[in-house]
Structure 1
């Protein structure tokens, strides 16, 4: 199983990402990547045979940190005061092959997506975790994939209505983030009332990405001027992924880019998020 999982990971993530993850994972830090096209659940796309986050990562956490004793009262093998559970999922659930393309199941709503994340927090709380941070979705409408442009991209080479996608994505993201905030408030009140302890912080990833976008010179320091509208990894022929990589930015230029490709944040953006998350954990972030 471990060898199979390693092969899947190395197939899905480029080596630079894996190397940085390995270097960043110091003693006592539990790192688990989400290997999925649909981050939260398979409810809206049951045909995708991939690991999904809501159960998959929780199961891995149990394997690593919960002592099974043959009863329903399993014991957490960690001090809940010494770790924070951070959840950052949802991008794919509102994107292509789902909400933005009207491909979700007819009985799935944005409220279901929000509740799925809240239930994931509740599940981790039942296992003994007490400190949580829930990340909002980023402003996906500023990515190339969900911009006003109707040009084909490697992730969606077919025809599409760019302006319509852009409006939908803004609507989906802001609505889901509002639902998540409300869910967090209710969950914190629930735990306070029950006396079981635990608290969820809301990390305004949307606001932080706007900060990166509108003040790039403070966050991007590659060998060329900061660039928040283009991307490092190029796919000049959206109909053929074999051309991907032609025209990529250089190693020295990478840290100037906000985006790795038409959808995914760059490595430097990841570092900026990590630094701000560190501040959030220590109570000094304004996001």
Structure 2
């Protein structure tokens, strides 16, 4: 009976929030009053150069106060979605001018290979002689940067214009938590479960909130079951990959299990976020958007000609290596024809679509988002 009552309360919160926040007096036409800064956390779907810094500095983290540069040498083969949103020029390249994007300054803490918490999933990287830095590290790095004081100027020379009402904080993490050598293969540590991974995300929001964050975008898990790494036979699913050379033979079972996991996590996000924001009032004065990138990417998969150059390819990869990570080749077609850069990572073309919709999310007008405050 208590569970039933809780479900009714949570459902009521969802209905109230959904009808209240679109055109809510005081909400305005935008999710955030002024979008001057974008602070991002996540994994290779978001990272530009942070893992590269670790690798090039013997596993050492960037020092507080250092703004890392943008890059086109990313896991997606080009410019990341958050860099497209930012519209800040990358050194040596022309500015990414487009009316679809913004002029928000990007502070990117994402690390390729990251999970939410290394105490739940431990993934070792020989190049840094330790685990991939996790989101726990990322948020702590943000806090250190936000408190940084330049010894010469006695001011914070990194965050020069960060306010509670002009900065959006986005979180997109889960690809490595749910995948091979993680929950999918029963490789979690300390008897942790998928709800523990979800707990980790909201605990990180706690830290950001305490440090002044008030506008949060939680990006749900991508449709990993549609990727070549986790897809079904006949739909681009691979029997083996350099990301998972010892993949089980029943790749249909793998794909269905991944679909179960992404669906479970996204359902948890859908109901827990309004509970924490509206019922439990865990973040007073904060606003949340859950960006349903799963549905957006599924739409790209099902209607590719609406998003990609023709002929569009949503089951294959632009860049492919053998399971031994040799004999790597690239397609004769341009990257803009592909949904996937390689077996696991969305292409730059997909990132452009995600970026355009993220801007709609921040405007408070995305059909792929739900809003609560």
For 1:154, the equivalent position in structure 2 comes to 242
Q: Does 1:87 align with 2:171?
A: yes
| Contact 1:25-1:31 within 8 A present in 2 as well | no
Quote how far apart the aligned CAs of 1:5 are: 3.5
TM-score by length of 1: 0.83
For 2:93, the equivalent position in structure 1 comes to none
For 1:268, the equivalent position in structure 2 comes to 349
For 2:262, the equivalent position in structure 1 comes to 173
For 1:198, the equivalent position in structure 2 comes to 286
Q: 1 CA distance for matches of 2:279 and 2:208?
A: 15
Q: Does 1:110 align with 2:194?
A: yes
Q: 2 CA distance for matches of 1:45 and 1:60?
A: 20
SS in 1 for 2:290: strand
Q: Does 1:259 align with 2:340?
A: yes
Q: 1 CA distance for matches of 2:109 and 2:145?
A: 15
Task: Tell which deviates more after alignment, 55-64 or 118-127.
Answer: 55-64
Does the C-alpha gap of structure 1 residues 191 and 28 become closer, same or farther in structure 2, counting only changes over 3 Å?
Answer: farther
Q: Does 1:232 align with 2:318?
A: yes
Task: Tell which deviates more after alignment, 197-206 or 25-34.
Answer: 25-34
Q: 1 CA distance for matches of 2:294 and 2:166?
A: 27
Q: 2 CA distance for matches of 1:88 and 1:47?
A: 18
Q: How does 1:3-42 map to 2 (within 5 A)?
A: 4-5=53-54, 7=56, 13=74, 16-17=77-78, 21=83, 24-25=87-88, 28-42=104-118
Quote how far apart the aligned CAs of 1:60 are: 2.5
| Contact 1:135-1:205 within 8 A present in 2 as well | yes
For 2:361, the equivalent position in structure 1 comes to 280
| Contact 2:76-2:346 within 8 A present in 1 as well | no
Q: 2 CA distance for matches of 1:44 and 1:228?
A: 32
| Contact 2:77-2:341 within 8 A present in 1 as well | no
Does the C-alpha gap of structure 1 residues 106 and 166 become closer, same or farther in structure 2, counting only changes over 3 Å?
Answer: farther
Q: Does 1:137 align with 2:221?
A: yes
Structure 1 runs, 4 residues or longer, greater than 6 Å off: none
Aligned residues: 271
Match of 1:96 among 155, 164, 180: 180
Unpaired runs of 5+ residues, structure 2, are 1-49, 58-67, 90-102, 125-129, 150-155, 369-373
Q: 2 CA distance for matches of 1:256 and 1:47?
A: 32
| Contact 1:36-1:50 within 8 A present in 2 as well | no
RMSD between aligned residues:
3.0
1:165-218: CA deviation from partner (whole Å, max 9, x where unpaired): 111101111111111222211221267477x31021111111111111111111
For 2:276, the equivalent position in structure 1 comes to 187
For 2:303, the equivalent position in structure 1 comes to 215
SS in 2 for 1:86: strand
* Structure with greater proportional strand content: 2
